[in-house]
Amino acid sequence: LLTLAIETSCDDTSVAIVEKTKKANGNAAKIHFLENITADTRAHRGIHPIIALESHQESLGALVQKALNYLPESQPGNGNGNSLKLADGSQRRLPDFISATRGPGMRSNLSVGLETGKALSVAWQIPMVGVHHMQAHLLTPRLVSCLDNQSNPDPPAVAPELPFLSILVSGGHSILVQSTHLTEHKILAASEDIAIGEALDKSARDIIPAELLQGAKSTMYGKTLEKFVFPNGEADFADYKPPMTRGDELAKRESKWGWYVTTPFANTRALQFSFSSVSSMVGKIVTRRSAEGGLSHDERVDLGREVMRVAFEHLASRTIIALETLRPHNTGKDKIQTLVVSGGVAANRFLMKVLRSFLDVRGFGDIQIVAPPPYLCTDNAAMIGWAGIEMFEAGWKSSLACRPLRKWSLDPQADDGGILGP
Ligand code: ATP
Ligand code: FE
């Protein structure tokens, strides 16, 4: 199956060509083309909807045009038999269908990609699948496990089979999801305020002096924070020790500079996240310390480490509670063996360390953690193509009348019917 995929839900305009084939011992996948153009909203400290929209309008046509050069050559007997003659005279295989992000996301931005997808589907007389962006993040590790070694130097040991538990952490989402089927996803915990990526981005802007932030892409402050605190990578956090019990999570860890950051909900078993308190504590610390004479480089590094530690331990702590809650039903073929971590924040190596440590010391050492490589963790069209392929194989197609959905629940029990819905 060959698909051309389009993603325009946020500030990345992305086009991919993804192919799934069968091989003797399972499935194989190839990303023939993948390119992202991120709107330059640097001057606006975050995502500016109009600038992002204009960027999609400017970039998408040219990206699709470029992608066509990466369609496999058409040969008798491959694909659906239809081919496309490019300007250079070459004959290319037409995709079997189009995948385009339908939601959730900014409606006008989604429209650029969805309407382009419909136009291609009409012109080429092939179906279109309107893809759920969050479902695509969730399924990405399954794409990763099918990629050949060339496009994926670091494949997971075992392909993640459903059911699995996922932590989706990005600039717009922090959710813990139990996935039992392609279209059955239950949100076990979500943030009651801002997403973890936003909290890390806000904290990074407070902690790191502006001249060092110059050049950080609009939504990538979290990545800058990781580099700032752990310039030598994993070596810098090798000495990390997780709290052994939930009681230990409550302990106030005062730094030598006189401040501390506390873990949200540490005294409860609430299956809920909160990250705004973490970034606002950081803001207050920076304001106070600046008034007291300023922060040294070392103090900034310590504060950056603390904000990540607290945010990641909060994620890990709720994940353990969810696993403990599920444990009685968690046997046989329903047993959860995999924790998928995806979304932009999953690119953070310290997060993986914290999660692994928590699972190991709290009795879930047999669960494997699977995270896609960073270029597939952040928004990209390859994951949209893969989710499109899985849905298309399961018989899904979208109508040409489908509209973009600003809000779109993952959960089929939700009011809008979730993925199965409108
Ligand atoms: P959504 O997909 O929910 O609509 P988004 O477009 O912001 O939101 P992504 O592109 O998946 O999502 O993720 C961007 C976020 O990931 C930013 O908040 C960024 O700071 C964060 N991020 C990227 N790399 C790292 C890193 N190494 N450490 C921590 N955070 C990171
Ligand atoms: Fe995303």
Tens digit of each residue's pLDDT, the chain (422 residues):
999 999 999 889 999 999 998 877 778 899 999 999 988 765 566 668 888 999 999 999 999 999 999 999 988 777 677 899 999 999 999 999 999 999 999 999 999 999 999 999 999 999 999 999 999 999 998 998 888 765 555 555 556 888 899 999 998 899 999 999 999 999 999 999 999 999 999 999 999 988 888 777 766 799 999 999 999 999 999 999 999 998 898 888 999 999 999 999 989 999 999 999 999 999 999 999 999 999 999 999 999 999 999 999 999 999 999 999 987 666 777 788 899 999 889 999 999 999 999 999 999 999 999 988 888 988 999 999 999 999 999 999 999 999 999 999 988 888 888 888 88
Instruction: Give the residue among 132, 99, 137 at the shortest CA–CA distance from 20.
Output: 99
- Ligand number nearest to the C-alpha of 378: 1
Separation of alpha carbons 401 and 115, rounded Å: 10
pLDDT value, residue 290 = 95
Q: Are strands 128-132 and 12-23 parallel, antiparallel or unpaired?
A: unpaired
| Ligand 1 atom at minimum distance from 105 CA | 4
Return d(Cα 369, Cα 338) in angstroms, integer. 6
Cβ of 342 closer than 6 Å to ligand 1, yes or no, is no
Q: 282: Cβ–Cβ under 8 A, 6 or more apart, which residues?
A: 202, 203, 206, 207, 261, 303, 307
171 lines ligand 1 (CB under 6 A): yes
**pLDDT of amino acid 208:** 94
Ligand nearest to the CA of 344: 1
Among 36, 44, 213, 223, the mutation site with the greatest number of ligand 1 atoms within 8 A of its Cβ is 223
Closest-CA residue, ligand 1 atom 24, reads: 223
Q: Which atom of ligand 1 is nearest to the CA of 10?
A: 6
Determine the pLDDT at residue 27: 84
The complex's ipTM works out to 0.98
Measured from the Cα of 308, ligand 1's closest atom is 29
Dist. CA 146–CA 152, nearest whole Å: 9
Whether residue 98 contacts residue 7, with contact meaning beta carbons closer than 8 Å, is answered with no
What pLDDT does residue 131 have?
Answer: 98
Q: Is the beta carbon of 348 within 6 A of some atom in ligand 1?
A: yes
Helix (H, G, I), strand (E, B) or coil at 120: helix
Q: How many other C-beta atoms can be found within 10 angstroms of the C-beta atom of residue 253?
A: 12
Sign of the alpha-carbon dihedral angle for 390, 320, 226, 264: positive
Between the CA of 222 and the centroid of ligand 1 the distance, in Å, is: 7
5 lines ligand 1 (CB under 6 A): no
* Nearest ligand (C-alpha, residue 377): 1
Q: Is 302 in the pocket of ligand 1 (CB under 6 A)?
A: no
Ligand 2 centroid distance, CA of 91 (Å): 34
Cα 12 to middle of ligand 2, angstroms = 9
366 Cα to the center of ligand 1, angstroms: 28
Q: Which of 147, 157, 185 is nearest to 389 (CA)?
A: 147
Whether the CB of 201 sits within 6 Å of ligand 1:
yes
* Ligand 1 pocket residue status of 409, Cβ below 6 Å: no
